[in-house]
Structure 1
Amino acid sequence: MPPVVNHNDPSMRRMVQVAGWVAVVVGALVALLLLREEQAQWNRLALNLCVASVGATTLVALHLGRQALAAGLLVWGVWVVVSLVAASNGGINSPNLLIYPF
């Protein structure tokens, strides 16, 4: 019989909450810094706003009591954004692949 997974674990909830806030704050701050440049790079700006929106969506799901959904959104959302960053920075030859989550 498979082990029972407790989706209401308070430590998991706190960890997902902190990671969601980190994604929102870091994504928004980097986007604001990119806006300050003379020639804004809109693709990088959009990717950082995507990180912030993944974090915000995670926090909303967590607030609604959907802890497993919030954790999944955070993991898969960050994975998609990292994939887009790696693709936009040179694909398979990108140095970003060193931190790519396989």
Structure 2
Amino acid sequence: MRFTPRTGPGREKARGALLEILDRAAEHQHRVTFRIWIRDQPNPLTAGGKGGYDPTRARTSINATLGDPFAWLAEQIAGRTDTDPPAGAIDRVDILTRTAR
């Protein structure tokens, strides 16, 4: 599933949809991987690429960032680019879910 967060109501809608997918993945005991597209970067960055995140733990961590999944994702990819992107620089998020092993 794809989300294109910007600002305003579209960002809030993307935030709610992202959290809903995490909750659904937790119900089905799936793992999640995020492909994060950053403004002015040609390729996406991957968070959770090896085994994926436990969506329940991801949700707990997101709640610690005042419920902002984009701020949490920015933290997860910090240090992977020349400059750490702010949460607002995230242009798109692809969420991949898979069954836990």
TM-score class, shorter: 0.3 to 0.5
More strand by share: 2
**TM-score for the superposition, normalised by structure 1:** 0.35
Bigger relative contact order, structure 1 or 2 (CA pairs below 8 A, ≥6 apart) = 2
Which entry has the higher C-alpha Rg, 1 or 2? 1
More helix by share: 1
